[in-house]
Chains A and B, each alone.
Chain A
Amino acid sequence: MNDDGQMLIFGEEQTTGNEYSLPVEEIAPRSKTQDRYFFRNLKNYVVRTAKSFKYAAIKCFKTYTNFSAFVPNASRKVRAFGRFWRENANPLVFLSRLGEFWTDLTIWARKKHRFFDFYIWGAIFGLCCIVLGIIYDPLTMDYDSGKYIHISFVAKMKIPFFTCMAICLFGFVQTAFGVNNIYRKLINITRRYPITMALIEGIIAIGASLCFTIGKDDFWKSIMVPSIVFLILYVYVYLDCEVGLLSRFIFRKSDDGSNALAGNIKGFLYLTPALLPMIVFTFYPMINAILMGFVKFDKTFVFTDWSFLTFLNKVFTNDAFRKNNLTLQWFKDTLTDPGFYHSLITTVIIVLITVPISTGISVVIAVLMNSIKKFQGLYQTIYFLPYVTAMTAVTSVWRLILGENGILNLIINSSTNWLNSADPMFIIGSYEYLGIGSGGEYFGISKWAYQAYPQLIGFVIYSIWDGLAFKIVIFLTGLQGIDKQVYQAAQLDGSTRLRTFRKITLPLLAPIMLFITTTSMIGAFKTYTSTKSLFLNNPRFETIVFYMFKYIDGTKTAYDKASAVGVVLFIIIMSFTGIRMFLKNRKKEKNAPVQAKKVKGHKTGSAKQVARQGGGN
């Protein structure tokens, strides 16, 4: 600390005199490269952030306190401390000073570290807000009895939740309407007239506090917390107009630097005709269905009462509702029901058998069909016909094929009734097999064994056939997109047909393969209609959707339970799809290092070769 530290510390000019305070205009807008850099070097980034916190803390410490260990002239420091205290005795002024300091700090930090990013800071503030909400007001006044009572976490979260929402909304609005420049000016004004601004902030804070504290006993506690909340909001706005925290993700500036929102609004307008029905008929019901899984319908809250807003209202206002109607019971029921596992295994069997076989067959058929020149259109029509034929018509034919005197039995010379046989074909798992022992329970399942009936096999055969039509057409499209000259080149390179298929056709079809396997996997998980029409009302196996429909079939109206099963199914499908994507990505990554290694080895080899040649010469 230098001799005129006092001046630096407490003088009016302190903010402009310090090395960390820089004109706001100097901050360059963040580029896309910086964004990319940020995501790639998260670790580095975190370290930097931590460091800058440390520097900030030291700065803060040095600037706002006078610790004698740092200071040779103690008496001067004491005087200075007194002056500081006089100037900042009012906590609100102190707070606004802090806000002022914070702005300088962020600017300084951004200048110091080019890639300094405030996304994480924003997240920390969001967290602070929530934590604050938990700490703050653990007891709430019950106005009827005049006593403090404990209330649930959800109710406690009300204020921080809505505060966060308000902050987000505020950020959106201010970015949307391009008020960044106004805030820039505001910052400059604040920097020029800190005391005035502090007063204004103080008035705002007091006003806000009063709004929160009317009728409450604990005045000081109540006035401090909203002040801090508002300060955070204030800082958030600062940061948002500096770097754009959340709104930045939505209203990205376009590359040419023009007003991003103008372009976006146009885009959104074009999207609305498609987006509105999606929101109304897909997203809204989906959210409702998910929420319904956590609800128990009873006399106080019947299914017909349901609406999204009623639900939210009840959650936030009605204690009895929270206590009686919010539940995880359905999930617990589902996950401990042997019937659910039965249906899960059935579905997984269907998925794991039908999808690969059907895909494999359709690739082969598509490749063969692509190679014929005459009657290709006719063949395409023939193979696509099942897709446009009504499922009930198709399944009636399959009932003839799979029946006791059907063609299938004729071919394989058996007498199994593939449609309605009560003899299980095989059994997966058993009590003993799981090693649970007699009389024990496993996850509440007292007896666990999976019996597969001939019906399942019959259905798998049908299902494989059923999937072909669509897949062949898609694969054909993909094949026709491959340049014919590539095949000619392969032929000239002396590749056999099989090798061309393996090394060229299949890799080039990979994106379509991914699409087909993913969509048909999702479709197979949702198997319902085909089972229903193939086995009429007599299925001996249940898919998950079947299991779900049990609760809302005919007279039953257990929509809450069915929703919970639906959510579970959704999660299963998502995770399977996720696994599929993961496997694909891993395969890609697996290939990459091998190639790198190859090249590396090859390079060293060539270097040696060159050296040898050099030596020889």
Chain B
Amino acid sequence: MKIRFDKMTVAFKEVVAVNQLDLEIPEGELVCLLGPSGCGKSTTLFALAGLYKPTSGKILFNEQDVSGLPPEKRGIGLVFQNYALYAHMTVEQNILFPLENRRVPKDEARKRALKAAQLCKIDGLLKRKPSQLSGGQQQRVAIARALVKNPTILLLDEPLSNLDARLRIEMREEIRRIQQATKVTTIFVTHDQEEAMSISDRLVVMKDGVLQQSASPQDMYNHPANLFVAKFLGNPPINIVEGSVKGGKIYVADQHIADKEIRDCEHAYIGIRPEGFKIAETAEDKKRGFKVKIDYCEVLGRDTTLHFNLGGVPVRAIVISEGNIKSGDEVTIVVRRHCLHVFDGETEVAINE
């Protein structure tokens, strides 16, 4: 189902958790709501589920306003952060519970429960109680319970935050698989950008209740809409230095570092991804690049991390381990054009023209 937020605001007393959210989510996509803690992503999710009422604005499912509908009538499956399984029921009873509430005939309910369990690979655990399951299994039960209702939208609220690193990778692939199998529109809340980028069709980044950018992961990485998004995505993080743009030339502390066909800007933030640096080898590169003194370098097998100063700011560059650069060397460095982002010094919005 297509979801659209129309200027939705959720406020608790004086705190505005979500501010004027305008967002469209196409049908059948796996969308990640991404942002630091307290940015309003869970609130958005709960508002979508109907557990919170929007203070103003609308939520539309297939262009129909559902803002006033109670949660049970929205056809939504929600997986809570701590799974919220019914501790006194077995796995099977847990999965059957939503169906019993809908008075689905018993045989059919059983069939559907088994199907959901098989999809989540927990059909061998039906007799157990949640306390006898591992974290990953509990999470699958929660997903099965959400899926058994045949929801039109599946919401997951930081479902991987309680799992260990290895299980997390396994489970996020599992979630992807289940989403692909059911083709249900899925919204996934997380604060882990790596997790978000690896499984989602679309990323939605929020900050302090305000939508920052909504795009596909690679698109967002390559074309961040503002400084916050650029800083938030990528590991190791992007290097930000202050500089200026004059006539298509970018200067950092009066040093010309690269060219870009954009408008002039007195005060700008220049963002360069660590992998956006290259050591000049050809004559042309050497002419185009600029000289820096390497403070120290870490050789990590395939890659080498170079640390140097650019406009008084420590900068990290990742280059392929070639030649032998040592700490204290002076090298010429070129910036790859597509890894260079310029943001307005006042508004912090990306300058692309």
Contacts and interface: CB of A to CB of B under 8 A. Distances in A.
Contacts of A495: 72, 97-98, 101
Contacts of A510: 88
Contacts of B342: none
A602 interface: yes
24 contacts: A483-B82, A485-B80, A485-B81, A485-B84, A486-B86, A488-B71, A488-B84, A489-B84, A489-B86, A491-B70, A491-B72, A492-B49, A492-B51, A492-B72, A492-B76, A493-B98, A495-B72, A496-B101, A503-B97, A504-B86, A595-B90, A598-B92, A599-B92, A609-B111
Interface centre among A486, A499, A508, A609 (most CB of B within 10 A): A486
B71 A491 contact: yes
7 cross-chain pairs, A with B, having the tightest CB-CB distances, nearest first: A494-B72, A493-B98, A485-B84, A507-B88, A489-B84, A494-B101, A485-B80
B129 to A, nearest CB: 10
Given A491-B71, A492-B72, A609-B111, A486 B98 contact: no
Interface of B: 49-51, 70-72, 76-78, 80-82, 84-90, 92-93, 97-98, 101-102, 107, 110-111, 114, 126-127, 145, 149
B344 to A, nearest CB: 42
A598 B126 CA distance: 11
A595 B145 CA distance: 18
Given A492-B76, A494-B98, A495-B101, A602 B82 contact: no
Interface in A15-57: none
A606 interface: yes
A605 interface: yes
A280 interface: no
Contacts of A599: 92, 126-127
Interface centre among A492, A495, A606 (most CB of B within 10 A): A492
Interface string A462-498: 0000000000000000000001011011111111100
Contacts of A287: none
A596 interface: yes
A566 to B, nearest CB: 39
B88 A508 contact: yes
Given A507-B88, A602-B110, A491 B98 contact: no
B86 A596 contact: no
Contact of B127 (A499, A504, A595, A605): A595
A493 to B, nearest CB: 4
A565 B102 CA distance: 57
A488 B110 CA distance: 24
Contacts of B89: 507
A492 B84 CA distance: 11
A493 B104 CA distance: 13
B101 A493 contact: yes
Nearest to B157: A485
A114 B127 CA distance: 33
Contact of A488 (B80, B87, B98, B107): B80
A537 to B, nearest CB: 49
A491 B51 CA distance: 9
Interface centre among B70, B102, B127 (most CB of A within 10 A): B127
Given A493-B97, A599-B127, 6 more contacts: A486-B86, A491-B70, A493-B101, A504-B88, A507-B88, A510-B88
Interface string A438-482: 000000000000000000000000000000000000000000000
Contacts of B70: 491
B72 A493 contact: yes
Contacts of A503: 86, 97
A486 B85 CA distance: 7
Contacts of B110: 602, 605
Contacts of B78: 488-489, 492
Contacts of B149: 493-494
A503 B98 CA distance: 12
B161 to A, nearest CB: 14
Contacts of B114: 602, 606
A492 B71 contact: yes
A47 to B, nearest CB: 31
Contacts of B49: 492
Contacts of B101: 493-496, 499
Nearest to B46: A488
B15 to A, nearest CB: 17
Nearest to B50: A492
Interface in A389-447: none
Given A485-B82, A486-B86, A494 B76 contact: no
Contacts of B90: 595
A95 B110 CA distance: 71
Nearest to B98: A493
A496 B73 CA distance: 12
Contacts of B93: 595
Contacts of A492: 49-51, 71-72, 76-78, 98
Contacts of A596: 127
B84 A483 contact: yes
Nearest to A599: B127
A499 B88 CA distance: 15
A605 B71 CA distance: 33
A555 to B, nearest CB: 56
Contacts of A489: 78, 80, 84, 86, 145
Nearest to A595: B90
Contacts of A483: 82, 84
Interface centre among A494, A596, A606 (most CB of B within 10 A): A494
